[in-house]
């Protein structure tokens, strides 16, 4: 599929109007793009016995969750509060069916309460969690997350499978954990793995097939099994806005896997997938203002660079600073302007507050229309792990999120945080 153009992100006049009304920086979500991505995933899972989930950690706002729910997409939550967010967005409690699955390696804060009170399906990723559930008096169904020994994220820090990954129980230990759960009165009703969204599409296709085959080896020993999750992993191309991602080919993989796993189990099993990034990445952009343009000079320590200083920082979009991740950058009002190499840097009191880095986290000037003070700059494809990973570092309030519909209406769905919001936690 091809993602629809970012209509609001390319409209310089609209962005100036929004900046005047809401200030900068701000996030703008394109509802049409989000719905197109949801439809692309749902169309691959509308076969008998196949179900899509949304890994809501990518962007957990209620507005996003309601879009998922209206499309029949279930939820993968990773904390007790994410469970409560999903419940408030209208998802059902209980585990029959398990509209909300709680995936964790550790029960922290209210995660155990979410299992006991809301009745959601716990997806355990560590053997000790079975003992934790037993100690809490839980005797309901569980899902077991396994580490299949392969898989990777878009960078090494995001590995979700293999010896370097903390997630899940090593696949050869799965039956031992099942036996411990059964002894404690719990039934393992789902097997789960996640191989990451790092690979190119052809590799993903092969990895999903490989994962289904690995599951087929152990499924017969899980007599209470009702479902198998192949995780997420559909990649998003951050560099190429026109990338054609052939998601429709995945329907064949999912149908084939569902039939094979049901055959080896001797009964009909539900097959699940749970993308996060793919649904939301292209649907939101961060809009920021260029506050100054300045130069450093070359000397014995290195080459001089031109800095475009902007009012957004890694408190708003941390991925470039954390991973060296690439986000496309445009200046909507600078069309036709001569390009030059520019380093885009933010306002925070940190040398690492830079948006143009390579995968070694070194400065990498970007060829952009030469920016001028006052220009609006757009950082694209920030819907996944953008606002969701925002922080209050330097006591900066999180930027507002705006929602753009195809008819041109724009409404805020989170407001800009104030110092009163931040200090409220210190009261008492």
Q: Given this model, what pLDDT does residue 241 score?
A: 83
- The parts of the chain modelled with pLDDT lower than 70 are 1-6, 151-164, 196-199, 361, 428
- The whole model's pTM is what? 0.93
Q: Given this model, what pLDDT does residue 135 score?
A: 98
Question: How do 227-229 and 187-192 pair as beta strands?
Answer: parallel
Q: Given this model, what pLDDT does residue 1 score?
A: 66
Are 296 and 307 in contact, with CB atoms under 8 Å apart?
yes
Q: Which residue has the tokens 């990034």?
A: 277
- CA dist., res. 198 & res. 196, Å (int): 6
Provide the sign of the torsion angle of the four alpha carbons 359, 360, 361, 363, taken in this order: negative
What's the full length of the chain, in residues?
428
Q: Given this model, what pLDDT does residue 148 score?
A: 87
Q: Given this model, what pLDDT does residue 358 score?
A: 81
- 205-256 pLDDT, tens digit per residue, is 888 889 999 999 999 999 999 999 999 889 899 999 888 888 999 999 999 9
Q: For residue 205, how many other CB atoms are within 10 A of its CB?
A: 16
CATH number assigned to the domain with residue range 45-275, chosen from the 4 options 3.40.640.10, 3.20.20.10, 3.20.20.70, 3.30.310.50: 3.20.20.10
Q: Given this model, what pLDDT does residue 162 score?
A: 56
Angle at 65 between CA 144 and CA 126, to 5 degrees: 20
Q: Among all residues, which ones are annotated catalytic?
A: 349
Q: Given this model, what pLDDT does residue 17 score?
A: 97
Nearest to 150 by CA among 141, 163, 140, 138: 163
- CA dist., res. 197 & res. 219, Å (int): 25
- CA dist., res. 394 & res. 349, Å (int): 8
Question: Domain spans of the chain?
Answer: 45-275, 281-426
Q: Given this model, what pLDDT does residue 5 score?
A: 59
Are 53 and 77 in contact, with CB atoms under 8 Å apart?
no
CATH number assigned to the domain with residue range 281-426, chosen from the 4 options 2.40.37.10, 3.40.50.620, 3.40.50.1980, 2.30.42.10: 2.40.37.10
Alpha carbon separation from 199 to 25, 168, 193, 233, 360 (Å, rounded): 32, 20, 16, 8, 18
Q: Given this model, what pLDDT does residue 7 score?
A: 85
Q: Given this model, what pLDDT does residue 243 score?
A: 86
Q: Given this model, what pLDDT does residue 160 score?
A: 54
Contacts of 415 (CB under 8 A, 6+ apart): 400
Q: With H, G, I as helix, E, B as strand and everything else as coil, classify residue 357.
A: strand
- CA dist., res. 367 & res. 328, Å (int): 11
- 139-154 pLDDT, tens digit per residue, is 999 999 999 887 554 4
Nearest to 187 by CA among 219, 135, 148, 224: 224
Are 405 and 395 in contact, with CB atoms under 8 Å apart?
no
Round the CA-based radius of gyration of the chain to a whole number and report it: 23
């Amino acid at each position: 599929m091809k993602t629809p153009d970012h209509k609001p992100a390319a409209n310089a006049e609209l962005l100036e109007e929004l900046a005047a009304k809401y200030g900068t920086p701000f996030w703008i979500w394109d509802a049409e793009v989000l719905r197109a991505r949801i439809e692309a995933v749902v169309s691959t899972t509308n076969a008998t016995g196949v179900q899509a989930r949304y890994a809501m950690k990518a962007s957990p706002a209620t507005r996003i969750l309601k879009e998922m729910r209206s499309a029949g997409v279930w939820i993968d939550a990773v904390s007790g509060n994410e469970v409560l967010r999903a419940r408030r967005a209208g998802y059902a409690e209980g585990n029959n069916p398990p509209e909300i699955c709680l995936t964790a390696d550790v029960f922290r804060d209210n995660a155990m309460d979410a299992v006991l009170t809301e009745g959601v399906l716990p997806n355990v990723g560590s053997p000790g969690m079975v003992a934790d559930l037993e100690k809490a008096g839980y005797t309901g169904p569980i899902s077991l997350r396994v580490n299949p020994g392969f898989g990777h994220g878009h960078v090494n820090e995001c590995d979700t499978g293999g010896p370097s990954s903390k997630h899940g129980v090593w696949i050869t230990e799965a039956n031992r954990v099942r036996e411990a759960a059964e002894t404690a009165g719990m039934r393992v009703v789902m097997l789960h793995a996640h191989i990451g969204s790092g690979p190119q599409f052809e590799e993903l296709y092969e990895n999903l097939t490989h994962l289904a085959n690995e599951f087929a080896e152990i499924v017969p020993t899980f007599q209470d099994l009702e479902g198998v999750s192949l995780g997420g992993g559909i990649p998003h191309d951050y560099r190429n806005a026109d990338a054609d991602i052939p998601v429709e080919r995945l329907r064949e993989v999912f149908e084939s896997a569902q039939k094979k796993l049901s055959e080896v189990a001797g009964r009909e099993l539900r097959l699940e997938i749970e993308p996060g990034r793919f649904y939301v990445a292209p649907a939101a952009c961060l809009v920021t203002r260029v506050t100054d343009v300045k130069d450093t000079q070359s000397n014995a320590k290195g080459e001089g660079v031109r800095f475009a200083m902007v009012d957004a920082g890694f408190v708003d979009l941390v991925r470039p600073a954390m991973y060296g991740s690439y986000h496309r950058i445009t200046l909507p009002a600078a069309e036709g302007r001569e390009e030059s190499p520019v380093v885009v840097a933010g306002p925070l009191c940190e040398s690492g507050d830079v948006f143009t880095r390579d995968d070694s986290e070194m400065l990498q000037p970007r060829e952009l229309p030469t920016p001028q003070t006052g220009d609006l700059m757009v950082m694209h494809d920030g819907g996944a792990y953008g606002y969701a990973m925002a922080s209050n570092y330097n006591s900066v309030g999180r930027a507002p999120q705006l929602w753009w519909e195809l008819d041109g209406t724009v409404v805020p769905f989170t407001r800009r945080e104030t110092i009163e919001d931040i200090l409220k936690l210190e009261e008492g």
